[in-house]
Every structure is written in structure tokens, then in C-alpha cells.
Amino acid sequence: MSQIASPFEFHSGSVPLLISMPHSGTQLTPEVAQGLTPAAQALPDTDWFIPTLYQSAEKLGASVISANYSRYVVDLNRPVDDKPLYTTKTTGLFPEILFDSTPVFTEGKAPSAQDRERYKQQIWHPYHDQIASELERLKSAFGYAILFDAHSIAVRVPMLFEGKLTDFNWGTNQGDSCQKSLVDAVTSIITDEYSQVVNARFKGGFITRGFGNPGSNIHAIQLELSQDTYLNNEALAQGRYELDSQKAPAIQRQIKAILKAVLEVKLP
């Protein structure tokens, strides 16, 4: 069994905040790359440019973990036993369909069960182990830890939700994954330029639900950001993913303000 190198990038910070980016990766294993449909080869369901949007995080002292591999290899925000997180239609640990409901893999060319077991052992588990280890380190150092799970998605995904997505979509597993003061802090800092909602279609994936435990002083919150807030729409219409020269800097400033607000929250 070949060894997968560097399943993620990690930076250890100096404040009680860890930012997770499980869907920003674009690397593929040979088995996945050879089987993707032409549509899937463009990696359309990637959380594009999330590390760039959150580039202020390390300067603020936050720890950061970002996936190197695409969600088409293994989805790090799904439980390893692949139990559904939502009652509505969605994708699983090993996505078989794109967000437009078309196949990820050419018929008969999906990775084998043995390959997928290797992805779990060499990508999924190391990513989650690193999160667990870092949260324990931060909790030991500060008395509590905050996990901020950073995502983005296309503004229209009929398979997942109707109409146009709200700009900022916060998820706290219906309030179970973090203290209310953290939600109040992030929602109060959003400018009137953007729309936002809490625990609507996106209530937090497995990372938020699995690690968030306010009773143990570990607080987790997910942000699903509409890509319409920062991608260039003209390029997108031509099948290219590019940052918009005006929208992206504004979002970067807003995210920096959010992270500052998170760090100012008084938690036990």
C-alpha cells in the first residue's frame, strides 16, 4: 500500500483559535484522477481560495489546518462511517455525484474499496487527529479552545437549497456546538453590505458537530460563505475560478474583523 504524503498543511498558533479548511484541497490521487468525468476534472465543488481569504488568520495568532486533497478523494467533513448528516440530499464520505447531481466518476472507474480504506487511514484520520491534538493543546494553554470551520459554496446549488444562497451561513448544530456569545460576536460584526443566517440549510458538518463541546470548553462554529461574495462572475461563466478584484479584498477585511471578534469573546 503506497503512502500518501502531506495530507494537510498545519500552522500552530498562539491564541485559542484553530481554523479548519477541509474542502480547500485540490490534489488528487492517481486512482481518483484517472476516473473523474470531464466535468469533475474542473473540481467544481472545491471551496475555492479559502486559504487566501483567511490569510489574516496566522497574523492574528490563530492555528490553521488546511486540506491538501480534494473532497473527491475523501470528504473530511463527513463521518468516517459515512452516516448521513442531513435528511435532505447531499454528498457522502466518498462523493459519487457532483453538486449538480451528475457523476463524479466515469462508470467503472471509481477508486477501489482498498484505495478508499487507504484514504481514510492516510488522509481522513490524520486530519481529524491533528484537530483533536491542537484543540487539546489550546484548551490546556488557555482553558478553552475555539474551532472555526471555514467553507464556501456556489451561490446556486439546486440539489442542496432553493434559490440564491445567503452570503454568510453560520452553523452551530442548532446551538449545541458553541456558546451563544460566540454566535453573537460573529453575527454582530457582519456589515450591512452582506446577508447572513444562523442554522438554516448549513447547520455545521461533521467537524463542527464532532468537536464542538461547550461543556468541555471546546466551541465550534462553521461558516459556509457564498462564493458570489468573492468570485469573478464573468470568469465563472466561462468555467474559470478567479478572485474578483473588488469583492475579494472586501471579504478579506470582513473575515479579519470576524476573527478579531472571535478572539475577543470571553469564554469560561
134-143 mean pLDDT = 98
- Give residue 215's pLDDT: 97
CA distance 135 to 4: 24
2 inside domain? no
Domain total of the chain: 1
CA distances (Å), origin 86, targets 2, 26, 224: 34, 25, 15
Q: The domain containing residue 114 runs over which residues?
A: 8-264
Q: Which amino acid makes up residue 13? A: G
Q: Are strands 17-21 and 63-67 parallel, antiparallel or unpaired?
A: parallel
- Give residue 93's pLDDT: 95
- Give residue 152's pLDDT: 98
Residue-wise pLDDT for 193-239, tens only, equals 999 999 998 999 999 999 999 999 999 999 999 999 999 999 999 99
- Give residue 201's pLDDT: 87
- Give residue 79's pLDDT: 94
Residue appearing with cell numbers 467503472 = 108
Tell me the pLDDT band of 85, cut-offs 50, 70 and 90.
Answer: low
Tell me the pLDDT band of 88, cut-offs 50, 70 and 90.
Answer: low
Residue-wise pLDDT for 9-29, tens only, equals 999 999 999 999 999 999 999
SS3 121: helix
Tell me the pLDDT band of 8, cut-offs 50, 70 and 90.
Answer: very high
Q: Would you say 61 and 185 are in contact if contact means Cβ atoms under 8 Å apart? A: no
Q: Would you say 144 and 267 are in contact if contact means Cβ atoms under 8 Å apart? A: yes
103 inside domain? yes
Residue-wise pLDDT for 27-55, tens only, equals 999 999 999 999 999 999 999 999 999 99
Q: What is the CATH number of the domain that holds 116?
A: 3.40.630.40
64-72 mean pLDDT = 98
Is pLDDT at 89 greater than 90 in this prediction? Answer: no
Three cell numbers, residue 1: 500500500
3 inside domain? no
Is pLDDT at 164 greater than 90 in this prediction? Answer: yes
- Better pLDDT: 89 or 248: 248
Identify which of 37, 38, 35, 127 has the alpha carbon closest to the alpha carbon of residue 74: 127
Residue-wise pLDDT for 233-252, tens only, equals 999 999 999 999 999 999 99
Kindly provide the b/e burial profile for residues 13-40, where b requires at least 16 CB atoms within 10 angstroms of the residue's own CB. Answer: bebbbbbbbbbbbebbbebbeebbeeeb
Is pLDDT at 146 greater than 70 in this prediction? Answer: yes
Q: Would you say 208 and 149 are in contact if contact means Cβ atoms under 8 Å apart? A: yes
